[in-house]
Amino acid sequence: MSLAVFDRRSKSLDYSRLETLFCIGGYQRRLPVSIARMIENAYDWEHLPYIHESSFNAISLLDEGDWGWRAIVTLPDSSSQHLELLVDKSRNYWATTVLSGDAKGFEIHTWASQVSSREIDVSIKFYLPKRFSKVLLVLQLSKALMPFFLYEKVAQKLGVHRVSKVDKPQQSILSSLHHQYSVLYDEDEALMSGRQAAIDNLKRRKFEPPIESLSLGSIDHVINELPKVVQFGKHRYVLNRWQDKWLVYNAVCPHRLGPLEASEIDHQGRVTCPWHGYQFDVETGKSCGKGIADLPNAPLVSIVENEIFLEAR
């Protein structure tokens, strides 16, 4: 795909441009997370196809920096879009622009404000090029004059893909966006809350004294609880079975603390982190991607008279 769409584009937000855009509406949401988690989530392009599977199939990064990122995304219908995110950290403000494909010219502007240290409000505004207000007006006027299937076709030709029989075109688009963004933010909320819990757990356990040995109970009992997450000293591990072997591996992904216990072990003996898709060989702890840290050494499993133990190395 050509990258010419990024030519002559600034890497900083130009707020005066808002006057040239048409705001189709907005979406508000209170989230139980800190501003830091939210801004981190905006910069985190890698989570899109993993956390937002129903909206994105794949992402290929072109460029990134403190200013934001540029990427090509593949959508569930296999079409592609050039996407650009620009971040203004000083204002907790970021804007995503669709530069090609379906919804070309669409901009999503988001502003986060702190309610308390672990609670924020996000205000999202959906913008289109100004000429779009006229397109919607034409559609609205023509709606009563034609059968619905024709109206839908005309709407699609004009670049409006979401219309309903009862609502005005603008309301149709907005209600569809509300639905999509409530799903996206449900998914992001789970990711951000999970990451915060993992950070808090690390801090809480920082001074935990080392342990030599920990009994997990009888094999018959433990086998029904697999994969079993166990706190062993400072760290959390997963106890699991694969190809008739007991395995112990870190429950916390070294990338951004994602929950490795959430992944099944695949036929190659790998787990895939659900947050960004990094894979690890659970027998060796080796990372299967370039530039990603291996899993740290895990304790050993020992069995004494039908009782299962974790032992420090």
- Residue 241 φ/ψ, nearest 5 degrees: -120, 140
CB under 5 to 8 A by kind: which of ligand FES, Fe ion, none does 256 bind?
A: ligand FES
| Binding footprint of ligand FES on the chain (CB under 6 A) | 253, 255-258, 273, 275-276, 278
Of residues 261, 249, 230, 229, the one with CA closest to residue 296 = 249
Selection from Fe ion, ligand FES, none that 278 binds (CB < 5 to 8 A by kind) is: ligand FES
For residue 113, the minimal CB distance to ligand FES (Å) is: 27
Nearer to ligand FES, 47 or 143 (CB): 47
Residue closer to Fe ion (CB basis): 41 or 240? 41
**Beta partners for residue 65, in sequence order:** 68
Task: Give 123's DSSP letter.
Answer: E
| Partner from ligand FES, Fe ion, none binding residue 275, C-beta < 5-8 Å depending on class | ligand FES
Q: Least Å distance between CB 225 and ligand FES?
A: 23
Could you check whether the bond before residue 227 is cis, i.e. omega within 30 degrees of 0?
yes
* Residue 107 in the binding site for Fe ion (CB under 5 A): no
DSSP letters spanning 245-261 = EEEEEESB-TTT--BGG
In contact, 107 and 96? CB cutoff 8 Å: yes
Enumerate the β-bridge partners of residue 303.
308
Q: Which residue, among 244, 278, 102, has the nearest Cα to 173 in the 3D structure? A: 102
Q: With 0-12 CB in 10 A as exposed, 13-18 as middle and 19+ as buried, what is 215?
A: exposed
| 235 contact choice in Fe ion, ligand FES, none (CB below 5 to 8 Å, kind-dependent) | none
From the list Fe ion, ligand FES, none, which binds 253 (C-beta under 5 to 8 Å, kind-based)?
ligand FES
Which contacts (CB < 8 Å, 24+ apart) does range 7-14 have?
9/84, 9/99, 11/65, 11/67, 11/68, 11/86, 12/67, 12/86, 12/88, 13/86, 13/87, 13/88, 13/93, 13/95
Centre a 10 Å sphere on the Cβ of residue 155 and count the other Cβ atoms it contains.
Answer: 22
Residue 188 binding partner per list ligand FES, Fe ion, none, with a CB distance cut-off of 5 to 8 Å that depends on partner kind: Fe ion
| Positions 180 through 199 that interact with Fe ion (CB under 5 A) | 188
Q: Which is nearer to Fe ion, 94 or 246 (CB)?
A: 94
Encoded amino acid at 47, one letter:
H
Q: Rounded to the nearest whole angstrom, what is the least distance from the CB of residue 258 to ligand FES in the complex? A: 3
Residue 273 interacting entry, from Fe ion, ligand FES, none, C-beta within 5 to 8 Å by type: ligand FES
Beta carbon of residue 77, minimum distance to ligand FES (angstroms, whole number): 26
CB of 151 to Fe ion, least distance (A): 33
Number of residues that bind Fe ion (CB under 5 A): 1
Rounded to the nearest whole angstrom, what is the least distance from the CB of residue 295 to ligand FES in the complex?
11
Tell me which residues touch Fe ion (CB under 5 A). 188
